[in-house]
Structure 1
Amino acid sequence: MTSIDWSGVRDRVAELADRPEGSVFGANSHHFLLEPPLSPDELTELEEQVGVQLPEEYRSFLLEVSSGGAGPAYGLFPLRRVDGRWRWEGDGADLTDPATLGEPFPYTEFFNPAEGLPDPPDEDDYASTEEFNAAEDAYWETHDKVAYDPRHTVGTIYLSHLGCAYRHLLVVSGPERGAMWADDTADDGGLKPLTDARGDRVGFARWYLDWLDKAHDQSHQPHTTPIGG
C-alpha cells in the first residue's frame, strides 16, 4: 500500500487563506480554515463506534492534516464528537448512517435509482386542479421513496456539498472501498464514480490534492471565474 505524503498541506491551505476568497468556489463557506487532526485515540474510538476501519487515505488525512474544514466545493465535512458519539457535520452530512458503514456499497458502476420511474403527472390529464395536485403529491412521494432510499448509499460517508443538493461521498465498504463517488440524485442524475481522464477511479487523496492544486492556481490568477469542486 502506497502511503500518502500529506506534509505541507496545512501550510498550503493557510497560504490560500491570505488570497481573495472569491477566486475559489466555496471558499466563502470554509474560509480556508482547517480543524485540528484527530489523535490516534480519537480515530480508534471513531472506528470502534462505526464498526469499520476507514480507507487509508482518508484516515491518514484525519491523523496528519485535519478532521475537516477547507476542501473541495463548500468544504470537507468535519468530524465532531457530540454526546460521546462521533458524527460528520455539514449540509447533507446527516445522510451518512454510521450504523451501516460496515455494509458493502451495492454499486460498482453508474446507477440511477430514479430510472424506470414513470413521468410526473401531466396537469392536462386531470379534470381539476385538486385531482392533479393529489396525483402530483402521490407521484413525488413514491419518487422520493425510491430515489432517496438510504439502502442505495450504505457503506459510504458523505464528505462534501457542491450546492443544489449535489454531494460527494467516500465508499468505505465493498468493492468500491476507497473510491470517491458523486451523488446527483437531487436532479435524478444518479450515483456515479469520480474518474480521471483515463477512466480510473479517484480516491480521497487525489480528490483532495487535485482541489488544492486547482485552488492554488486559481487564487493566483487575477479576474478569473471561481473553480468548482
Structure 2
Amino acid sequence: MTDWTGVRDRVLALAAVPGSDKVFGARAHGFALDAPLATTEVADLEAWLDVDLPEDYRSFLLHVGAGGAGPAYGILPVRREGSAGWRWVGELIEEVEPGMFAEKFPGGADPEATVAILAERPVQDDFDDLADLDAAFEAWEERLGEVQYDPRRTAGALCLCDEGCGMVVWLVVTGPERGRMWRDDRCNGTDLHPMRETDGSVSDFASWYLGWLAAAEAACGLDR
C-alpha cells in the first residue's frame, strides 16, 4: 500500500516557493491539484472502466487529487461528465470507447506490421518527379501512422501525462504490465516502451509521481 500522507500538502506548498515556476511544466499546472475523489466516485469510475485500478493510482485519486500537478505538464484530471461517463481531460487524447480499457494491453509494437510498412517507404530513385515522390511519401506516412497509432496499441492503458512535443505517458491497467508506466515517443519514431527508475527498476505510478515530487522539492531547495 502506498502511503500518500502529506503528499497533497507538499505539492500545494511548492506553489508558494520562490522560483518554483522554473520546475519543468510548473507554469502549466502551477502546483495546483484537483480535489480527491470520494470512495463512491472511484468505485463508479472503476465500474465504468470495467477494470480495477492499480492500487497506487487508485489511492492517489482518493488521498491526493483527481489530477493536476505532477511530472512534466501534470496529471490529466479525471472527471465525471454526466451521462457521458468519465473522461481524462486534455487535448492530447481522443475519446476512447470504455470497453477498450478492459482489453489486455498488448505490450509493444506489432513487429511484422511495422517492418512491412517500413519496407514500403518511398525511395527517391524510384521517382522522376519530386511532386510524385512527395505525394507517395505523404500517403506512406499516413499508412504508417495508421499502424503506429492504431488505438488497439494502447488498449488496457490510461493516458495520464503530457510530456510535451507529442510525447505522453500511459499507465497500464490490464495484463502482465498492469501497474507499470509506459512512455509514448511514437512522434519521434521511438515505440512505446516501459519506463524505468534510475536504479533500473520498472516505474509504477507511485515511484514515478513521488520521484517527480522529490526532484521538484530539491530543485526548489527544499530538503526532506
| TM-score using structure 1 length | 0.88
Per-residue CA distance 1:66-100 (angstroms, 9 max, x = gap): 00000000000001111331110113233755321
Structure 2: unaligned runs, 5 residues or longer:
none
- Helix, strand or coil at the partner of 2:169: strand
**Which runs of structure 2 are paired with 1:138-149 in the superposition (5 Å)?**
138-149=139-150
Q: 1:198 to 1:97 in 2, by over 3 A?
A: farther
Contact 1:24 1:215 in 2 (8 A): yes
- CA distance in 2: counterparts of 1:197 and 1:70, whole angstroms: 22
**Map of 1:192 onto structure 2:** 193
**Map of 1:106 onto structure 2:** 106
- Helix, strand or coil at the partner of 1:101: helix
What amino acid is the match of 2:193? K
- CA distance in 2: counterparts of 1:219 and 1:172, whole angstroms: 33
Per-residue CA distance 1:9-37 (angstroms, 9 max, x = gap): 11111111012243200001000000001
**Map of 1:211 onto structure 2:** 212
**Map of 2:53 onto structure 1:** 54
Instruction: Give the superposition deviation at 1:112.
Output: 7.3
**Which runs of structure 2 are paired with 1:1-229 in the superposition (5 Å)?**
3-19=1-17, 20-84=19-83, 85-94=85-94, 97-107=97-107, 111=109, 115-116=114-115, 117-118=118-119, 120-123=121-124, 125-220=126-221
Contact 1:91 1:161 in 2 (8 A): no
Of Structure 1 and Structure 2, the greater helix share is in 2
Q: 1:206 to 1:96 in 2, by over 3 A?
A: farther
Is the deviation greater in 75-84 or in 163-172? 75-84
What amino acid is the match of 1:8? G
Contact 1:111 1:192 in 2 (8 A): no
What amino acid is the match of 2:157? T
- CA distance in 2: counterparts of 1:112 and 1:28, whole angstroms: 37
Instruction: Give the superposition deviation at 1:205.
Output: 0.5
Contact 1:168 1:183 in 2 (8 A): yes
Structure 1: unaligned runs, 5 residues or longer:
222-229
Contact 1:78 1:89 in 2 (8 A): yes
Structure with higher RCO (Cα < 8 A, 6+ apart): 1
What amino acid is the match of 1:69? G
- Helix, strand or coil at the partner of 1:34: coil
What amino acid is the match of 1:5? D
- Helix, strand or coil at the partner of 1:47: helix
Contact 1:72 1:208 in 2 (8 A): yes
User: What is the aligned residue count?
Assistant: 217
Instruction: Give the superposition deviation at 1:119.
Output: 6.7
Per-residue CA distance 1:156-184 (angstroms, 9 max, x = gap): 00100101111111000000100011111
What amino acid is the match of 1:200? S
Per-residue CA distance 1:120-140 (angstroms, 9 max, x = gap): 434454222331222012111
Root mean square deviation, CA, Å? 1.9
| TM-score using structure 2 length | 0.90
